[in-house]
Structure 1
Amino acid sequence: MRKHKLFFLFIFVFATAIIQAQIRVSGIVSDQNNDPLIGVTVKVIDTNVGTITDLNGKYTIAVPAGKNSLEFSYTGFTTLRMPVNNQAYINVTLKESIKQLEEVMVIGYGAMKKRDITGAISSISAQTIEEKTPISIYDALQGQSSGVQIVTGSGAPGEGSEIRIRGVSTFDEGASPLFVVDGVPLDNVDNINPNDIESIEVLKDAASAAIYGSRSANGVILVTTKKGERTRPRVDVRYLRSYSTLSRSMPRANGDERRYYDDIRKQYLVGGDYLINIVDSLAYITNQDLDIVNLLFRPATRDQVDFSVSGASETFNYYMSTAYLNEKGIIVNSDFDRITSRINTEYKPSKSLTVGSKVQFAYSSKNGIDEDGVLNSLLVKPAYLAILNPDGTYIPNISARRNPLAVAMTDVNKAQTYRASMYEYVDWKLSEKLKLNSSIQMNYYQERYQRRRSSTQLSTEEAGTPNSGSRDRTLINYEITNENYATYTDTWGDYHDVTAMLGNSINFWGVERLNMLGMNMTSDIIYTLNAASSFDARNTSTNMSRSAMLSYFGRLTYGYKGKYLANFNMRYDGSSRFGKDNRWGAFPSGSVGWRFSDEKFMRFSRQVLSDGKLRASLGVTGNQRIGDYDAWQLYSPNFIYEGISGIAASNLADRNLGWESTTQYNGGVDLVLFKNRVRISIDYYKKLTDQLLAKVELPKESGFQTTRRNVGAMTNEGIEGSIDFDIIHKTDLKWTVNLNVANNKTIITRVADDIPFYRGMHDAIYVQPNARLGEFYGYQYQGIFAFDESNAFTPDGQRLTPVFSNGVFQNSYYLGSQPYSGVVEQKKAANGDILKGGDVDLADTDGNWIIDLNDKKVIGCAQPFLYGGFSTNLTYKNLTLSMMFYYSLGGQIYNYALARQNSFEFDGVTPTPYAIENMWTKPGDDAIYPVPKKSEHNRLAPSDFFLEDASYIKLKSARISYRIPGSKLEKVFLKGVNVYVYGNNLLTFTNYSGYDPEFRGGGDALTLGIDQNSYPRKREFGFGLNVNF
């Protein structure tokens, strides 16, 4: 009994000690307006003890013995730490966070608080980039900013993309925005490692971009790379491994289907009875049934290793990284290797002086394929024809049928690039108000491209003749820029904030080119030009060009109480690329903002409206991305007449050539709701581009084919918006969602001499004044004539039905359900021949019963109605799921690849199984496709039959990651480990029949939406490991 009393006494004393050791702290957390904050995370520092505030902003937490600090954190507000000091009741007021309204954004020649921005700017963080596991900046940007389209030309490894910000603002040159990476202007960012990026800012309106003047007509994208943080030295190692496959397969006719097609085609080519293509069991070459797709396409891999070291002290910070990427293509003999290295350093020898350096080097090697030769040969090659001999050697091309595997494996298409950039700068703080900045930027780029056609690809008629060729091309670009500017910042009283900036810039560009074409190669093993027996003089040349630009720029910003805001920019550029009288261009812009949420009359809304701002801007930007000497008379030594070389004029001078300018209006509203849980931004804009720079055709008697002129005008008008939700924000569970959407309409308002012109394959795109960009111009498909007599219409265009009895035409017709005895009209081809059974029935829009060019009309448009992205991020404790969708709704695609395959205009092409099954073979067939023979009118001419809906929704990326916290890794000297699995291009919801509705189209800004059968996109699955030391 005594033992039991002692035991209970011990328990009582121990429990009392524990209770006394713990301190229960309660309180209320509110904002600066004394409104309670719901869901604020309250934690005891250096413990796992935590709670959140209730609906009234109240909290209660037990603080263990030996702990004396609480941490209060909430989305949109500054994290606050408070000492306990034996207090039982602690009330806390949180201030708006730097990461939200006070976030500092890079704006070009400076930075500005997000709450003071009056232009249209969007920002993408390093965390968002990492969640997408991108290969390039283009992958990182897609779907993250409203009004930004990423247009990919090909799915080949290392293939670049193009970016469109608020539509297209030019005809030919410079449709992509200007990239500025750590102060260095770049036109190409293929070799930038996404893991080095700290943030990306997209300057969309003129008020934001005009500070870059003549290079900003298509917007500006500012890329800031990482720097060291004030911690102990940090080492990050990342490894990624992925596996890729063809995202979508196309139906392909087997050997028997192709033989059937050949037999029908021969019947109509030769005439007579149905011809049977007998299979010779001993004929190895023509007795196959190959799945050539499986021979050409393969599972592919991607390996990526990143290593970085960073750190900082009071006077010095550094970030150094090296990365290696190896990406295999899903088509054999295609791959991409990239090595990047970066060193960012900053030194402060005194409080007033900062010296910095940012240096980057990149090397890449791309082995490509001849996409036209491989993919279009795949359409041509019958499945019954062998591509390999029994000994494994390639079978030569048979007539026009190229061997796609031989093209892929023996062609050489190799591009090697070297890039080095350097940004050296000095910041000198003369006083608390005045700061000087001086920098020198150097950028060097070299590319060597080698192309060879092997003799293996010669046809059987050419076998044994050494007429293969090899091309060797070298391009060198370099740029040197010096910029100097001063920034003055002052505050008058408590209400007036003024910032003024004034500076100048000097740019110098140089380009050198070497191009050589060797013919009659003596060896397939040696593809360098020393194996060439001869050279093509017209395609062998060297040249160089130089250009320069001198600029002056300035900015003035003013804010009153943080409520009334104004921003004015001016840039004055002089370019050597234009004529003497047009070298200088002025590019002004201005914007104003009103923070209406701070007005007294809006106090009633503070429970809902955390921040509200109206914005308006107007400005002018320019474009000078043309040839260095387009305005000058040029002479070329490549003129050859009767075997004698000489010098002749090669370019017609135009001293009136001047700036392409874009005037842009923008109005927007920014809203922050429910204590920063919902953030909305909406913008309306209109861009008026004038004096468009484009090449125009000249009369033959001029002696020149084209010249560059200021010839046209166009407008872009649209509305865009984004919304961010912090749906759940608890200690262990967080869920955020982002949605952005944009609508843009591009109208061409003027062309050269007001004369419409065509672009694209078979003139599919019609460019005319007061019409939409990307309009398809072609015929209207109305079916296939079942009989010769089916080509019958009333004079007013109504279709007649022929009457048959026992298969014999009764020389009579029905109009609907009634007999018809009037005049019968018949459609004719352009050569006057009457169209017969099996021919395509096209609409006779001009009513003259002749199907010719006059019957073509606008049949569709490539421009989408809506496009944008949707992303979600769900975190439970240390487990995170992130997904990003991209969509494009509306618009059409001209499926030229399918038109070429199923038009039956080419003897060697293999149609799809569906076309073979539904082609017209005999009178009376209710067919979808015509008789398999060449027609009197070109079936390849664009028609709405091959026009398809371009709408799609894609699950672009998904990632599941688990973070092992540093507290569990201290024994192995690690700060953190993150493991993840991910997928890219996982799902596509679309009605389009081609490989992928997401592609660039033709070769310039005008030829949108034409699918020419480029390298397909891949579907990728992978895993990764990030380790922090």
Structure 2
Amino acid sequence: MKKPNLLPLPFHYFLKTAYICFFLSVLNIPLLAQSEGIKISGTVTDTKKEPLIGVSILLKGTNKGTLTDINGKYTITVPDQHAVLQFFYTGFNREEITVNKKTTINLIMTEAIKELDEVVVVGYGAMKKRDVTGAIASISSETIEQRNAISIADALQGQTAGVQITTGSGAPGEAADIRIRGTSTFEGGAKPLYIVDGVPFESIEDINPADIESIEVLKDAASAAIYGSRSANGVILITTKQGEKTRPRLDIRYLKSFSTLSRKMPKANGDERRYYDRVRRELTGGVNGYDIKDSLAFFNNQDIDLQDLLFRTASRDQVDLSASGASDAFKYYLSAGFLSDKGIMVNSNYNRFTTRINTEYKPNKYITLGSKVHLSFAYKNGISEDGVLNQALERPSYWAIFNPDGSYVPNISSRRNPYAVAMDDVNKAQNYRASIYEYVEVRFNSKFKFNTNIQGNYLNDRSQFFRTTPQLSTEERSTGRDLSEISYDWANENYLSYNDKFKYHELNVMVGNSVQFWGRENLNIVGLDYTTDMIYTLNTASLFDTKKTYTRFYRHKMASFFGRASYNYKGKYLLNANIRFDGSSRFGSSNRWGTFPSASVGWRFSDERFMRWSKRFLSDAKLRASWGITGNQEIGDYDSWQLYSPNYIYEGVSGIAASNLAYNGLSWEETTQYNIGLDLRMLNNKLRIVADYYKKNTDKLLCQVEVPKETGFKTMRKNVGAMTNEGFEFTVDYDIFRNKNFSWSVNFNIAKNNSIITQIADGVPFYKGMDEAIYVQQNARLGEFYGYKYLGIFAYDESNAFSDNWERLTPVFSNGTFTGKYYLGDKEYTGTVQQKKSSDGSVLKGGDVDFFDTNGDGTINSADKTKIGCAQPDVFGGLSTNLSYKGISLYISFFYSLGGDVYNYAEAKRNKFSYDGATPSPDAIHNMWTKPGDIAKYPAPINKEHNRLPPSSFYIEDGSYIKLRNVKLSYSLPKNWIKPALLKAATIYIYGNNLLTFTNYTGYDPEFSLNTGDPLTLGIDQNRYPRKREYGFGVNITF
């Protein structure tokens, strides 16, 4: 029986005429006239004999065609029996049928497995990508390999909308700062939760990207809430490779690269520095500025740009080996990797050894046993960034670095020899990790299965620091430090899953529980007065600093119950719900348990009957909406407890005293997030669009609150803050062209996030960061810079003149002599002349900085601070393209950040003019005020506090940038070339990383993070280790 048309008749006809005909005409795909040729009719169904609505049927070689109706039926007229019909439908294989003598052609279309069954990993399971109702982004192993990534951050940067990745610095082995949809905490830790093969990781720098099969980023609460109290900052799921059911294979990859400094900072040479000294002496009457009596003295007769000594051409070697295979019962993947990364700064390097053993065994169809083991060792040799880079730029170029006998020049005027510090300082770190994940899956039948696993991590970190005696000032003591830390955790998870399909319905239910334990032990020993610089081990220390030497132990536990249910009807109407209950020992007994629910819905409106007109160009379309609550528990293990410290000394007597106030009301940070999304696939899946809008409200923020002095403490931790994050994300993938020999694809993503602080403790604003540049206040954006607004430099003493309404006056001079007259605009001013004063009450003179008087009282002080910038970017994202012709492939990727400001603290510090040992920048020397009448950018080079009031808007710069991140040209050798060598595949390639940066920023690099662990401080450039420009080649071989 024919199914009734559920739409009202007039609307039904309106759709047929206004939509189908209109869009087909726009697309230049008119329906065939039915009055000539051979009339063909039939029905199109799927493998379950269900009719397929809106199948596109085209006459090959023309733009003429038709669509199947609600019953899967169609009629089309073809010119003759040689005509060929093409059938297209989203998620199904394309079909072609020659008419011959047939007048009825019925077709059963088969599903395209790659599209319909492509899955993404979610918490405690996987699901079809097309059925996802949350905001999940996925990165494949192919994309990771294209980028030659040496870390997870490298693989993700610029690839995923809404994920902002800033590499901390260019130092080898440096961790990156990863933010998913902004910052949602004050002090509770802002990094996402990392899950590697089911095991939570605190850091992911020691994961070899060559082992990764896929990376999923869970961005919204509906996706992340299954991880409860640890998921407020998003979740990154990393799945490593497993053997495939093919013949055993051996993969070998080798990369070699060379790198140089990508950008050199301008530094004053010897002549410029001598000119600066001369002007400084003249303006201060000889009080400041070096007066070099002997111009031929070896120490003062050099011209050295220390950047030429500190930076070098470095190299990187990377070797990855893997063996894999599978049978019906057994899978295996074994790998080993070695990375040797020499830094572009002398005496800096990073070595990493990794190995992975993934196995899975199925003794029968009911039981699966698996094991995933990860082992790594990393060794890093670094430098003191601030003690080297800033001192190198500030040190007078005419000062020698080496004595005539070749030894290092020692510490002079509290200025260390930067090259000696870089070469002789000991700054080493070692990291050992072992991670294990053992699991069992019992499949009772096709619907029920039970999973259990035991997992754990063991980390042993050790860092050593020692500074040699020649680089110490007279009041400093030789100091060494040896810090060892052992961290370990284990967990047991158990969950039962039910999956069922009946007619048009699909239901999935999962319930489970977990118990987890974390422990940490550290030992810090600080030695003093070493007997020799040749040996930096603690046995050469004369004594120990007992105030800084300690051992500490930390423990915390968590128990959880969780569940998920998902339902879909015909793949058209999708529902999903998650819930998790977490109980943590970090919180007091009254708030130990937290509940974290989420829900999401999806509507595949492209499958609706009224959308069948769109099938020719709209392959798939889905609306998504979600809501959920996630949490953050990243605080100290004992912040809610009363703690006591044994380091209390009173009148020379040691004792024990309280060091922390107990607060039983301490609770979780909670983030409530809303998300609306749209997924589109168009033009037979060639064009794919994902768009999301979200809003996150975070409250109960954990932060330190001042307490009455009578308690004997300054602060205690409480839940008092709140923030919001709001933004959008947009991603488009377009296969511009694709056939057997040539393909060209493009990916573009863009995101905007706005982080606003809505509540702080007692509503009292406070400053953060270097020079207290960041101002934290309610109802303001995160990362706002507050300081003094720079207006210019007073050319004359008389230039500091303003009307009684504080309008700027213009002094009148005749032959260089002030006439005593002022003009206001084009008229002579005869009223009262007012002058600005510094905070000490002195009148500002020629050569002083003219700052904006915010409150109009005539005195420039802290009350005149105002907003001068914001570190948050307006938008950020990435662009990549991949062209392939036969065996040749070209991959290019960019990433960008537009609109954020940077406080160039390093340059402000260099140009303070406060002491003789620091050399200003060449720009400052050439544009400083030297005499009355100078139109200058910089003040007079004298030691005056007013002129260096921090932060100044003069040093707030546009931090926008676009970076050419990767270029890779590869060639896959033809099969007939490599077959005699018993090779399955071989690819050779050349590549470049960080090749170009388009920016107006004057520092080393506008991309940096502070590595302070403070989420509230951002955008303050302290001259961290610069990034390198890298060129290399590589080869991949498969046996």
| Structures share fold, TM-score greater than 0.5 | yes
Matches of 1:745 and 1:568 in 2, distance apart? Answer: 28
Matches of 2:373 and 2:78 in 1, distance apart? Answer: 49
* CA drift at 1:965: 3.5
Residue 817, structure 1, aligned to residue 826, structure 2:
yes
8 Å CA contact retained: 2:929, 2:941:
yes
SS at 1:795 equivalent: coil
Please point out which of 343, 365, 369 is paired with 2:383.
369
Please point out which of 549, 562, 586 is paired with 2:558.
549
Please point out which of 41, 44, 56 is paired with 1:35.
56
- The aligned residue for residue 1003 of structure 2 is 994
Please point out which of 121, 132, 138 is paired with 1:117.
132
- Report 1:528-927 matches (<5 A): 528-927=537-936
8 Å CA contact retained: 1:899, 1:940:
no
- The aligned residue for residue 482 of structure 2 is 472
Residue 1015, structure 1, aligned to residue 1036, structure 2:
no
SS at 2:265 equivalent: coil
* CA drift at 1:703: 2.7
Structure 2: which 5+ residue stretches go unaligned?
1-43, 47-51, 62-76
Please point out which of 205, 212, 219 is paired with 2:234.
219
8 Å CA contact retained: 1:253, 1:910:
yes
SS at 1:258 equivalent: helix
Matches of 2:826 and 2:111 in 1, distance apart? Answer: 77
* CA drift at 1:702: 3.3
- The aligned residue for residue 937 of structure 1 is 946
8 Å CA contact retained: 1:426, 1:438:
yes
- The aligned residue for residue 253 of structure 1 is 268
Matches of 1:75 and 1:128 in 2, distance apart? Answer: 27
* CA drift at 1:816: 1.8
Matches of 1:289 and 1:951 in 2, distance apart? Answer: 34
SS at 2:972 equivalent: strand
Matches of 2:467 and 2:389 in 1, distance apart? Answer: 16
* CA drift at 1:38: 11
Letter of the 1:866 counterpart = V
Matches of 1:469 and 1:425 in 2, distance apart? Answer: 48
Q: Deviations over 1:428-453 (max 9, x none)?
A: 00111100000000111111010111
Please point out which of 102, 127, 137 is paired with 2:142.
127
* CA drift at 1:79: 7.1
Residue 505, structure 1, aligned to residue 519, structure 2:
no
Q: In angstroms, what is the RMSD of aligned CA positions? A: 2.6
- The aligned residue for residue 436 of structure 1 is 450
Letter of the 1:1025 counterpart = V
* CA drift at 1:268: 2.9
- The aligned residue for residue 990 of structure 2 is 981
Letter of the 1:322 counterpart = A
SS at 1:350 equivalent: coil
Matches of 1:75 and 1:329 in 2, distance apart? Answer: 53
Q: Against the structure 1 CA distance between its residues 996 and 936, is the aligned structure 2 distance closer, same or farther, given a 3 Å change threshold?
A: closer
SS at 1:539 equivalent: coil
Instruction: Output the TM-score relative to the length of structure 2.
Output: 0.90
Residue 198, structure 1, aligned to residue 208, structure 2:
no
8 Å CA contact retained: 1:903, 1:940:
no
8 Å CA contact retained: 2:676, 2:692:
yes
8 Å CA contact retained: 1:900, 1:940:
no
Q: Against the structure 1 CA distance between its residues 102 and 861, is the aligned structure 2 distance closer, same or farther, given a 3 Å change threshold?
A: same
Matches of 2:88 and 2:526 in 1, distance apart? Answer: 65
Letter of the 2:963 counterpart = K
- The aligned residue for residue 342 of structure 2 is 328
Matches of 2:131 and 2:397 in 1, distance apart? Answer: 65
Residue 422, structure 1, aligned to residue 436, structure 2:
yes
8 Å CA contact retained: 2:292, 2:300:
no
Q: Against the structure 1 CA distance between its residues 37 and 138, is the aligned structure 2 distance closer, same or farther, given a 3 Å change threshold?
A: farther
* CA drift at 1:126: 0.2
Please point out which of 407, 424, 430 is paired with 2:421.
407
Please point out which of 149, 169, 180 is paired with 2:164.
149
8 Å CA contact retained: 2:876, 2:898:
yes
Q: Deviations over 1:535-561 (max 9, x none)?
A: 111100001011000000000111111
Matches of 2:728 and 2:993 in 1, distance apart? Answer: 29
Structure 1: which 5+ residue stretches go unaligned?
1-28, 41-55, 62-71
Deviates more, 1:418-427 or 1:262-271: 262-271
Please point out which of 375, 389, 392 is paired with 2:403.
389
Q: Deviations over 1:892-930 (max 9, x none)?
A: 101001111123233321111111000001111111100
Letter of the 2:201 counterpart = L
* CA drift at 1:286: 0.8
Matches of 2:793 and 2:1004 in 1, distance apart? Answer: 27
Aligned-residue identity in percent: 61
SS at 1:537 equivalent: coil
Residue 291, structure 1, aligned to residue 339, structure 2:
no
8 Å CA contact retained: 1:312, 1:318:
yes
Letter of the 2:680 counterpart = L
Letter of the 1:825 counterpart = Q
Matches of 2:676 and 2:797 in 1, distance apart? Answer: 61
Deviates more, 1:804-813 or 1:565-574: 804-813
Residue 1028, structure 1, aligned to residue 1006, structure 2:
no
- The aligned residue for residue 35 of structure 2 is none
Matches of 1:579 and 1:870 in 2, distance apart? Answer: 47
- The aligned residue for residue 30 of structure 2 is none
- The aligned residue for residue 170 of structure 1 is 185
8 Å CA contact retained: 2:55, 2:88:
no
8 Å CA contact retained: 1:568, 1:590:
yes
Matches of 2:690 and 2:59 in 1, distance apart? Answer: 24
* CA drift at 1:173: 2.7
- The aligned residue for residue 103 of structure 1 is 118
- The aligned residue for residue 207 of structure 1 is 222
SS at 1:100 equivalent: helix
Please point out which of 323, 344, 357 is paired with 1:309.
323
* CA drift at 1:379: 2.4
Q: Against the structure 1 CA distance between its residues 298 and 96, is the aligned structure 2 distance closer, same or farther, given a 3 Å change threshold?
A: farther
SS at 2:844 equivalent: coil
- The aligned residue for residue 235 of structure 1 is 250
Q: Against the structure 1 CA distance between its residues 157 and 79, is the aligned structure 2 distance closer, same or farther, given a 3 Å change threshold?
A: farther
Residue 181, structure 1, aligned to residue 190, structure 2:
no
Matches of 2:551 and 2:95 in 1, distance apart? Answer: 66
SS at 2:228 equivalent: helix
Matches of 1:718 and 1:100 in 2, distance apart? Answer: 29
Matches of 2:703 and 2:486 in 1, distance apart? Answer: 25
8 Å CA contact retained: 1:75, 1:676:
no
Matches of 1:37 and 1:871 in 2, distance apart? Answer: 33
Q: Deviations over 1:4-32 (max 9, x none)?
A: xxxxxxxxxxxxxxxxxxxxxxxxx9996
Count of matched residue positions in the alignment of Structure 1 and Structure 2: 968
Letter of the 2:56 counterpart = D
Q: Against the structure 1 CA distance between its residues 778 and 610, is the aligned structure 2 distance closer, same or farther, given a 3 Å change threshold?
A: same
Deviates more, 1:164-173 or 1:274-283: 274-283
Matches of 2:534 and 2:109 in 1, distance apart? Answer: 72
Q: Against the structure 1 CA distance between its residues 741 and 317, is the aligned structure 2 distance closer, same or farther, given a 3 Å change threshold?
A: same
* CA drift at 1:91: 11
SS at 1:810 equivalent: strand
Q: Deviations over 1:153-199 (max 9, x none)?
A: 21100000121000000012320110100000112011000000000
* CA drift at 1:76: 7.9
Q: Against the structure 1 CA distance between its residues 80 and 424, is the aligned structure 2 distance closer, same or farther, given a 3 Å change threshold?
A: farther
Matches of 2:629 and 2:420 in 1, distance apart? Answer: 53
